[in-house]
Structure 1
Amino acid sequence: SGSDSVSFSRNQTHGKQHAAPRNKCVPRPSEGDCEADGSFVFEAQEAWKDFHNSLRQFYENGELCDVTLKVRLPLLPVDFLTGTVAKEEMIKANLNCRDLLDEARNYHLHLSNQSVPDFEYSVRTTPRKHTAGVLFCVGGRGGSGDPFRSIECYSISKNSWFFGPEMNSRRRHVGVISVGGKVYAVGGHDGSEHLGNMEMFDPLTNKWMMKASMNTKRRGIALAALGGPIYAIGGLDDNSCFSDVERYDIESDRWSAVASMNTPRGGVGSVALGSYVYAVGGNDGVASLSSVERFDPHLNKWTDVREMGQRRAGNGVSELNGCLYVVGGFDDNSPLSSVERFDPRMHRWEYVAELTTPRGGVGVATVMGRVFAVGGHNGNIYLNTVEAFDPRMNRWELVGSVSHCRAGAGVAVCATHISQIRDVGQGSSNVVDCM
């Protein structure tokens, strides 16, 4: 939900102590918890009632804005922000609080690709560690040649990886995405044949469950989610690259075809940005591509947009701060360390800092305001290293390693708490070193 955790323990404003509202939806932090101390979370309508009463205490003491500063308003759902928070009389009556509300509104406008002059990101636009979700690295292949069933999960607070429950099928060059607190793995290759089937991981049960299969078996596909459905884009088999796009309806567990891309794209990258789904790079069966196109679900139509500066396939794609980042990949000869950023408001690509090492077949996702690049192949070996890009510093830095050296893995962020996922220990034992 993007919400923070509500309550006050010992509030630091003017050294005064205030009672924490108690509610089953509102966990009370331990004394001295610097992450949650003095903070609120607008998590549910019930919690708002307690919050409203607490606001009144601070309003009467002249401390309302001090408290509201600790709330990460931009991360609230738009409907709750506009329908509940913005209607609170105490917020409306305080100019400083109204400025914070404007910041939250501008943040959502910015993410919807509208131009917002002088908008800047702040700590309030970045989730706290315990609400940021869990980074999953799913499948892929390493030096042994066989695709993996294994998944590895990243603990943000501990900066470490652990093995989660394995998939039912081995999958390399698999499409992976998280929607609604669940992780979906689609297609790929199991070492013997191409796959069209899909499985879903539910953190509440710690199990993978088979779901409906796509119409076309393929590897090297990309997944994107926009407005509920999941889109499976492009891919390839041993004979051809595909321009096919299928849409999966989660409620009905059914795939259906939508408009094909203008260009076949195997090893393509994709992300939903604003009201479009983007397909970035890939290989058309002859060469790696620098071209980019985007899908409008209302028109059921793909339209070409400005191409990248570099041809690439097997690249990773993610969204950060309303921009599209494309990371690494292969040109026709070798893996790439270059990274490009597309701003849809300016319709412009620009290069940003390069990776610390070239990475083809890299998995990419955004966590805590940084783009993570996981594994890949550097031209000589499969990689288990992970690095993260900080847009404020324009710099990549190594942030630990997965246990298995792997390329062609799917990477996604699941909106769940790390404690929900069972650590299965060492996982598969059939993986040798990265060579």
Structure 2
Amino acid sequence: MAPGDLVPDHAKQLRSKEKRPGNRASKTNCEPDGSFVFEAHEAWKDFHNSLRHFYEVGELCDVKLKVRLPLLPVEFLTGTVAKEEMIKGSLSCRDLMDEARNYHLHLSHKVVLDFEYSARTIPRKHTAGVLFCVGGRGGSGDPFRSIECYSITKNSWFFGPEMNSRRRHVGVISVEGKVYAVGGHDGNEHLGNMEMFDPLTNKWMMKASMNTKRRGIALAALGGPIYAIGGLDDNSCFNDVERYDIESDCWSAVAPMNTPRGGVGSVALGSFVYAVGGNDGVISEMGQRRAGNGVSKLNGCLYVVGGFDDNSPLSSVERFDPRIYRWEYVSELTTPRGGVGVATVMGRVFAVGGHNGNIYLNTVEAFEPRMNRWELVGSVSHCRAGAGVAVCSSRVSQIRDVGQGSSNVANCM
């Protein structure tokens, strides 16, 4: 919910409150993609006043076009919103509550008959976070330390502060408003170290190193810790899985995978971490074997995008729905992409860069699930494959634009 989106100019607007002593207002993430919602008592009072305005002038049904209840945390939705008398007294608002409940049931892998996604289940642009494209390599062969960020509101890319290390085939993830880059290869050796970008300081900070140096790893976050999965070096692929505790800045080994996987993709979906594809990996449920693919989640489903089958880049995309435990093909990419970076923003899956078998790519395309269609949506400045892509729940205005960066690439060969 955004200031100005909830009520007319003459009505009181919903606004965020900074946390301060004696005030329990806090800012939390209601969606994996980092949409902001506000669980503040004072903010709810503003919302309550706005509802009363609509109620008094007989326009309460208009709220259904302005309030995105599905994006509220389920505890706040059921514990506060559902108990509001004006909500209970309006058939239109009760329909909205049913939609919100069904949305959360759907994401928890329950089968909800006739459920449909709507504009109210998609975050607004200014709350959707920032898409980061981190590292990779291009035609020059040297890995990048450069970062490109996508402004959803402006539909444009800009360079953010560079990493300390060059990294290709790097694992990248965003947790709690920060971006983590783990492992990879710097052009000379494999890396086990990790660095973290904090939008509040606009700096990359070195953190604890993994026990195993590797590239082509996948990262996933489930219940707080970060999991580094699989990967490879010049001699072998790994089934190693390490877990990073953010608070203690410490890595520890956990149960290894059954199969070694380099160039693997991973995502946390529900209560599971999925490892998909990779070298030395066989996923029998998928229609194609693939490594260097991108993996993301959208609407409770897992999407596997592009990758390489042996040495051939793929344009195929597969979707896994855990509610029915089935893989299916969806529309293909507009161009084959191996080593592609993938993330979900604003209800669409974005595929960034990669290699099409002839050249490194700087094009970006997005998948719209309701249309089952990929379309080109611009390009990054650097043609790159093996980059890490993640969505950070920060405001784009927090991130310093550093211009063209120090590693600009002249062409995509």
Q: TM-score range by the shorter chain?
A: over 0.9
Query: Greater shift after overlay, 94-103 or 376-385?
Result: 94-103
TM-score, L = length of structure 1? 0.88
State the partner residue of 1:255. 251
Residues 354 and 290 of structure 1, relative CA distance in 2, 3 Å threshold? farther
Residues 239 and 22 of structure 1, relative CA distance in 2, 3 Å threshold? closer
Residues 388 and 146 of structure 1, relative CA distance in 2, 3 Å threshold? same
CA deviation vs aligned residue, 1:198-240 (integer Å, no higher than 9, x gap): 1000111100011111111110000011111111100001111
Residues 83 and 149 of structure 1, relative CA distance in 2, 3 Å threshold? same
1:158-169 → structure 2 map (5 Å cutoff):
158-169=154-165
Where structure 2 has 5 or more consecutive residues not aligned to the other structure, the ranges are 19-35
Q: Is the 8 A contact 1:290 1:310 kept in 2?
A: no
State the partner residue of 2:107. 111
For residues 101 and 210 of structure 2, the distance between their equivalents in structure 1, rounded to whole angstroms, comes to: 38
For residues 92 and 389 of structure 1, the distance between their equivalents in structure 2, rounded to whole angstroms, comes to: 37
Residues 23 and 413 of structure 1, relative CA distance in 2, 3 Å threshold? closer
State the partner residue of 1:331. 309
1:19-38 → structure 2 map (5 Å cutoff):
19-21=11-13, 25=17
Shift in Å, 1:167: 0.3
Residues 9 and 94 of structure 1, relative CA distance in 2, 3 Å threshold? closer
Q: Is the 8 A contact 1:72 1:125 kept in 2?
A: yes
> Structure 1 vs Structure 2: percent identity of aligned residues?
87
State the partner residue of 2:403. 425
State the partner residue of 1:171. 167
For residues 8 and 18 of structure 1, the distance between their equivalents in structure 2, rounded to whole angstroms, comes to: 12
Residues 85 and 398 of structure 1, relative CA distance in 2, 3 Å threshold? same
State the partner residue of 2:31. none
State the partner residue of 1:245. 241
Shift in Å, 1:112: 1.1
State the partner residue of 1:100. 96
Q: Does 1:127 align with 2:105?
A: no
Q: Does 1:5 align with 2:7?
A: no
CA deviation vs aligned residue, 1:260-285 (integer Å, no higher than 9, x gap): 1110000000011111110000001x
Q: Is the 8 A contact 1:234 1:244 kept in 2?
A: yes
Q: Is the 8 A contact 2:3 2:14 kept in 1?
A: no
Q: Does 1:69 align with 2:47?
A: no
TM-score, L = length of structure 2? 0.92
Q: Is the 8 A contact 2:202 2:399 kept in 1?
A: yes
State the partner residue of 1:204. 200
State the partner residue of 1:371. 349
Q: Does 1:343 align with 2:318?
A: no
Q: Does 1:268 align with 2:260?
A: no
Shift in Å, 1:25: 3.0
Which of 395, 406, 416 in structure 1 is aligned with 2:384? 406
Shift in Å, 1:24: 5.6
State the partner residue of 1:301. none
State the partner residue of 1:303. none
Name the SS for the 1:166 alignment partner.
coil
For residues 228 and 130 of structure 1, the distance between their equivalents in structure 2, rounded to whole angstroms, comes to: 25
Q: Is the 8 A contact 2:135 2:388 kept in 1?
A: yes
Name the SS for the 2:144 alignment partner.
coil
Name the SS for the 2:180 alignment partner.
strand
Name the SS for the 2:312 alignment partner.
coil
Where structure 1 has 5 or more consecutive residues not aligned to the other structure, the ranges are 12-16, 27-39, 292-305
State the partner residue of 1:138. 134
For residues 322 and 80 of structure 1, the distance between their equivalents in structure 2, rounded to whole angstroms, comes to: 21
For residues 6 and 230 of structure 2, the distance between their equivalents in structure 1, rounded to whole angstroms, comes to: 51
Shift in Å, 1:319: 0.3
- Counterpart of 1:432 in structure 2: which amino acid? A
Residues 140 and 9 of structure 1, relative CA distance in 2, 3 Å threshold? closer
Shift in Å, 1:102: 1.2
How many residues are matched? 396
Q: Is the 8 A contact 1:144 1:432 kept in 2?
A: no
State the partner residue of 2:211. 215
For residues 160 and 213 of structure 2, the distance between their equivalents in structure 1, rounded to whole angstroms, comes to: 26
For residues 315 and 118 of structure 1, the distance between their equivalents in structure 2, rounded to whole angstroms, comes to: 32
Shift in Å, 1:125: 0.2
For residues 402 and 152 of structure 1, the distance between their equivalents in structure 2, rounded to whole angstroms, comes to: 7
Shift in Å, 1:42: 4.9
For residues 282 and 353 of structure 2, the distance between their equivalents in structure 1, rounded to whole angstroms, comes to: 22
For residues 54 and 432 of structure 1, the distance between their equivalents in structure 2, rounded to whole angstroms, comes to: 53
Shift in Å, 1:23: 5.1
Residues 405 and 41 of structure 1, relative CA distance in 2, 3 Å threshold? closer
CA deviation vs aligned residue, 1:68-87 (integer Å, no higher than 9, x gap): 43100111112211221112
Q: Is the 8 A contact 2:74 2:104 kept in 1?
A: yes
Shift in Å, 1:384: 0.6
CA deviation vs aligned residue, 1:23-81 (integer Å, no higher than 9, x gap): 5639xxxxxxxxxxxxx975522111122123223223322231243100111112211
- Counterpart of 2:181 in structure 1: which amino acid? A
Residues 41 and 336 of structure 1, relative CA distance in 2, 3 Å threshold? closer
Shift in Å, 1:9: 8.2
For residues 395 and 254 of structure 1, the distance between their equivalents in structure 2, rounded to whole angstroms, comes to: 42
CA deviation vs aligned residue, 1:289-321 (integer Å, no higher than 9, x gap): 441xxxxxxxxxxxxxx6200010000000011
- Counterpart of 2:44 in structure 1: which amino acid? W
Q: Is the 8 A contact 2:2 2:14 kept in 1?
A: no
Residues 366 and 24 of structure 1, relative CA distance in 2, 3 Å threshold? closer
State the partner residue of 2:32. none
